[in-house]
Amino acid sequence: MNAFSMTVSEHQPQWRLPARGPVAMYCLIAAEAGMFTIFVVAYIFYLGKSATGPQPGAVLRAPIFLTICLLSSSLTVHIAVKFLRSGNVRRFAWWWGGTVGLGGIFLAGTAREWRHLIYQEGLTIQTNLFGTTYYSLVGLHAFHVVMGLAALTLVLAFAIRGDIRQEHSERTEVLSMYWHFVDAVWVVVFTVVYIVGR
Amino acid sequence: MSTASITVSNPSSDRRPLVETLHQWVTTVDHKRLGILYILYALLFLIFGGIEATIMRIQLIRPHNNFVSPEVFNRMFTMHGTTMIFFVAMPLVFGFANYLLPLMIGARDMAFPRLNAFSFWLSAFGGFLLYFSFLGGNGLYGAGNAPDVGWFAYAPLTSQTFSLGHSTDFWVLALLVSGIGSMGTGANIIATVLCMRCPGMTLGKMPLFAWLNITMGGMVLLVISPLTAAQLMLLVDRYLGGHFFDAQAGGSAVLWMHFFWIFGHPEVYVLAIPAFSFVSEIVPVFSRKAIFGYPVMVAATVAIGFISMSVWAHHMFTVGMTAAGNIFFVFSTMAIAVPTGIKIFNWLATMWGGKIQFKTPMLFCTAFLFQFLIAGLTGIMLSAAPFDWQLSGSYFVVAHFHYVIVGGILFSIFGAFYYWFPKMSGRMYNESLGKLHFWLFAIGFHLTFDFMHIPGLLGMPRRIYTYEPGRGWDIYNLIVTIGVAFQAAGTLVFIGNLLWSKWRGRAAGSDPWDAWTLEWSTASPPPSYNFAVVPEVKSRRPLWDLKHPEDPDWHYE
């Protein structure tokens, strides 16, 4: 049936509509932003309301290095997509792989931080309100990092197999929009949890 | 543009074994079939929700009645509310949006057909999960059954301490799953309207239906996600031992109220705006006039979308807020009456001076106008905090929101059923049965919900399973329950009419109403490809232009 779908007569001015992919991704981002807003509000609302310790000021240390890793991964994914758009698949794969690596470092760092909090500081999700809200908010973000990394890794595997070509640049760009969103959320989470919340 | 068609070997038109037909329906990604699946699924749950309402009304028909136990009564009002909002009203508006949007904007399908199917099956799974709780809600300890915490599930009722077993978990998971489906549909609607319009259909030339539904899609994204977040928090509390809503550890039950109502109130408009979209299509066609004030209608719709996000705490005046909080939510709630009033006046102005044809769809839409107006007026009464302090949690509130949802939304949905049934089935419905349905339902509705206001004013609280005689409530409760019988009879006539007309109705032809939007330019029911040739439009009423080449609309727009 595809043969019939393009019967726009010649004399009409060009009829252009926005592409579906980015529109849907913006929709997903709007919905996700709504979810994160609720978790951030709960975190701020419960600041200082924990009945027992440990309190955030005593146990949290700002993960500066991890933040730098995650934020720079936004830059690397941007550069990767730019290379794919100009058809340079090899460079694309390298920068895309770098993004996966930086995201992986961030995730490993979060795991280390949680291990420290659980075993050294005795803070679990059950300990107090701080534990409940902290692990939920940071955990929700980490879950999004995991999902993003899974998608990025899949594309990386395709790239290594040689299945990614220049025509896929728009799709990879849609995926990179999600990754930018995950980074932007981290800016909010970092500010709320590690700067304001301490 | 209308007469051309494509001769394709259509595999679905051949006689096929039942299993194969079912397989086609289950695996379909066609927006029309998914729309019909949504609608049939909603009708199934409408019957469930209606039975639950009937059980409650039988229990309340006289004081000290023993038809059901208090525990069963709690389950009935919880399941009734949850079912009607999430598994009747939402699938109905999604079903119509799914079926009609691509046809109205001259597209061959939604923007993401497979996401569309995925969303439907998630919603369907959510509904069956909720009803599985009747069987599976016992859990390990034999406590609980169907959810009994009320449809807004206030903390701490939902904590492990007060809600043993798994009934609350079924409620949480059912809404979580169907909510994800709803967000998928919301994104799909937005992408369809923005990216799939046929040549010439600029945003200002879309049917109002498309404008209203894209507003609804945006609201779904922004209001279902807070509910999803709150449900996740509740799961953390119930399964991981968290303290979000645990007052003993410093948590706040009021925070749940805020999180729930920041979803709960805009949700009313998620349902009402599609209802407005049906009325905005039906009223002009049966008044034989173009819609009055198209740009203002669009602006009012978007304004309702925005304002509705800032009114949620009017559900919480009795909880106790600061004076500033009370004042803000009083005024924001009153403010939303302004764009809504604009819409009502626009529909009236459309009818004014028109050659009105009172076919069944128009009857339902006319009743909608009156009833939605009254619902809005009691809404303004309740928006005044001191008045609300008296009547919050009473049957007055129950009467008010049923006036909105039944008298407004359901009436317009019935109108939509009759208006688009010829397009969906290819057959005309029976006009006499349609009118019978209208009058039975209108009489039943007014018996039930007009008289429900009075015991509320006399102090009858909602959600009580029985009451003392001699408080002046008895006669009104009797009348309210009698009205239910009329509504049930009307619904049976409706379903009978649909079934009879599907097989016995006379052929409708492609354009039985002499209407103006693109869905009437293709065959009834539309072929799987919708349009043989993608249409081009020049105005908001492309079929008018086609039928009246001497005086087309685009001369004036």
Answer yes or no: is pLDDT of B465 > 90: yes
What does the pLDDT average to over B373-386?
Answer: 95
Closest CA to A18 of B431, B111, B269: B111
pLDDT for B166:
86
CA distance A95 to chain B (A): 30
Cross-chain residue pair B194–A15, CB shorter than 8 Å:
no
A1 CB neighbours in chain B (<8 A) are 6, 8, 108, 529
* CA angle in degrees (0–180, nearest 5) for B96-B101-B106: 145
Interface predicted TM-score (ipTM)? 0.93
Quote the CA–CA distance of A34 and B224 in Å, as a whole number: 8
| CB-based burial label for B353 (10 Å; 0-12, 13-18, 19+) | exposed
pLDDT for B134:
87
Quote the CA–CA distance of B526 and B520 in Å, as a whole number: 9
* CA angle in degrees (0–180, nearest 5) for B175-B177-B182: 85
Quote the CA–CA distance of B115 and B117 in Å, as a whole number: 5
- Name the average pLDDT for chain B: 93
Give me the residue spans of the domains in chain B.
Answer: 29-555
How many residues are recorded in chain A?
Answer: 198
Hey, what amino acid is at B7? T
Residue of A5, A8, A136 lying closest to B236 (CB–CB): A136
What six digits make up the tokens of B44?
Answer: 């199934």
The region of weakest confidence among B3-7, B13-17, B187-191 is: B3-7
Give the pLDDT confidence of B243-270 residue by residue, as tens digits: 999 999 999 999 999 999 999 999 999 9
Quote the CA–CA distance of B551 and B343 in Å, as a whole number: 28
Closest CA to A96 of A69, A76, A70: A76
B190 CB neighbours in chain A (<8 A) are 23-24, 27
Could you tell me which CATH class the domain B29-555 is placed in? mainly alpha
Quote the CA–CA distance of B96 and A71 in Å, as a whole number: 43
Q: Which residue of B has its CA nearest to A40?
A: B229
Give the pLDDT confidence of A115-139 residue by residue, as tens digits: 999 999 999 999 999 999 999 999 9
pLDDT for B16:
77
User: In this complex, is the C-beta atom of A27 within 8 Å of any C-beta atom belonging to chain B?
Assistant: yes
Cross-chain residue pair A51–B250, CB shorter than 8 Å:
yes
Answer yes or no: is pLDDT of B340 > 70: yes
Quote the CA–CA distance of B463 and B157 in Å, as a whole number: 15
CA dihedral in degrees (A109, A115, A117, A119; nearest 10)? Answer: -160
Cross-chain residue pair B242–A12, CB shorter than 8 Å:
no
Question: Residue B143 — pLDDT band, cuts 50, 70, 90?
Answer: low
* CA angle in degrees (0–180, nearest 5) for A83-A85-A88: 45
pLDDT for B348:
97
A7 CB neighbours in chain B (<8 A) are 533-534
User: In this complex, is the C-beta atom of A9 within 8 Å of any C-beta atom belonging to chain B?
Assistant: yes
Q: At what angle do helices B31-59 and B474-504 cross, to 10 degrees?
A: 150
B249 CB neighbours in chain A (<8 A) are 50-51, 128-129
pLDDT for B557:
79
Half-sphere exposure of B463 (CA within 13 A, CB side): 16
Partners of B461 in beta bridges: B394
Give the pLDDT confidence of B164-193 residue by residue, as tens digits: 888 899 999 999 999 999 999 999 999 999
Answer yes or no: is pLDDT of B115 > 90: yes
- Total Cβ atoms within 10 A of residue B419: 25
Answer yes or no: is pLDDT of B428 > 80: yes
Indicate the DSSP class of residue B427. Answer: B
User: In this complex, is the C-beta atom of A17 within 8 Å of any C-beta atom belonging to chain B?
Assistant: yes
Q: Which residue of A has its CA nearest to B203?
A: A17
pLDDT for A3:
39
B229 CB neighbours in chain A (<8 A) are 34-39
b or e along A61-96 (b: 16 or more beta carbons within 10 Å of the residue's beta carbon)? eebeebbebbbebbebbebbbbbbeeeebeebbbbb
Answer yes or no: is pLDDT of A16 > 70: yes
Task: Suggest the residue from A2, A4, A6 to mutate for an interface test with chain B (most B CBs closer than 10 A).
Answer: A4
* Full DSSP string of B32-65: HHHHHHHHHHHHHHHHHHHHHHHHHHHHTSSTT-
A–B CB contacts, 8 A cutoff, strictly below: 133
Q: At what angle do helices B31-59 and B90-104 cross, to 10 degrees?
A: 150
Quote the CA–CA distance of A198 and B14 in Å, as a whole number: 70
Answer yes or no: is pLDDT of B146 > 80: yes
* Percent helix, percent strand, percent coil in chain A, to nearest 5: 75, 0, 25
User: In this complex, is the C-beta atom of A160 within 8 Å of any C-beta atom belonging to chain B?
Assistant: no
CA distance B315 to chain A (A): 18
> How far is the CA of A105 from the CAs of A61, A98, A143, in angstroms?
17, 11, 15
CA distance B251 to chain A (A): 7
pLDDT for A1:
36
Q: Which residue of B has its CA nearest to A133?
A: B244
Where is pLDDT greater, at B144 or B390? Answer: B390
- The answer to whether the CB of B264 falls within 8 A of the CB of B152 is yes
Q: Is the pTM of this model over 0.90?
A: yes
pLDDT for B140:
54
What does the pLDDT average to over B84-109?
Answer: 96
A8 CB neighbours in chain B (<8 A) are 199, 534, 536
Cross-chain residue pair A12–B532, CB shorter than 8 Å:
no
User: In this complex, is the C-beta atom of A132 within 8 Å of any C-beta atom belonging to chain B?
Assistant: yes
Q: Which residue of A has its CA nearest to B189?
A: A24
What does the pLDDT average to over A92-108?
Answer: 97
Quote the CA–CA distance of A108 and B196 in Å, as a whole number: 43
* CA angle in degrees (0–180, nearest 5) for A191-A193-A197: 95
Cross-chain residue pair A35–B225, CB shorter than 8 Å:
yes
Indicate the DSSP class of residue B144. Answer: -
CA distance A11 to chain B (A): 12
B155 CB neighbours in chain A (<8 A) are none
H and E: helices and strands count for chain A: 6, 0
Percent of chain B clearing pLDDT 90 (strictly above) = 89
Give the helix/strand (H/E) hosting B432: helix B431-457
Cross-chain residue pair A38–B112, CB shorter than 8 Å:
no
Give the pLDDT confidence of B466-480 residue by residue, as tens digits: 999 999 999 999 999
B255 CB neighbours in chain A (<8 A) are 42, 45
Cross-chain residue pair A38–B243, CB shorter than 8 Å:
no
User: In this complex, is the C-beta atom of A49 within 8 Å of any C-beta atom belonging to chain B?
Assistant: yes
pLDDT for B1:
44
Residue of B243, B259, B529 lying closest to A129 (CB–CB): B243
Catalogue all structural domains in chain A, each as residue range(s) with its CATH number: 65-198 (1.20.120.80)
Answer yes or no: is pLDDT of B117 > 90: yes
- Total Cβ atoms within 10 A of residue A6: 7
Residue of A4, A30, A132 lying closest to B244 (CB–CB): A132
Cross-chain residue pair A4–B533, CB shorter than 8 Å:
yes
Question: Residue A10 — pLDDT band, cuts 50, 70, 90?
Answer: low
Answer yes or no: is pLDDT of B554 > 90: no
Quote the CA–CA distance of B32 and A22 in Å, as a whole number: 25
What six digits make up the tokens of B220?
Answer: 């779904």
pLDDT for B145:
82
pLDDT for A51:
86
pLDDT for B17:
86
b or e along B518-533 (b: 16 or more beta carbons within 10 Å of the residue's beta carbon)? bbbbbebbbebbbbbb
What radius of gyration, in Å, describes the C-alpha atoms of chain B?
A: 24
Residue of B191, B200, B221 lying closest to A34 (CB–CB): B221
User: In this complex, is the C-beta atom of A20 within 8 Å of any C-beta atom belonging to chain B?
Assistant: yes
Answer yes or no: is pLDDT of B520 > 90: yes
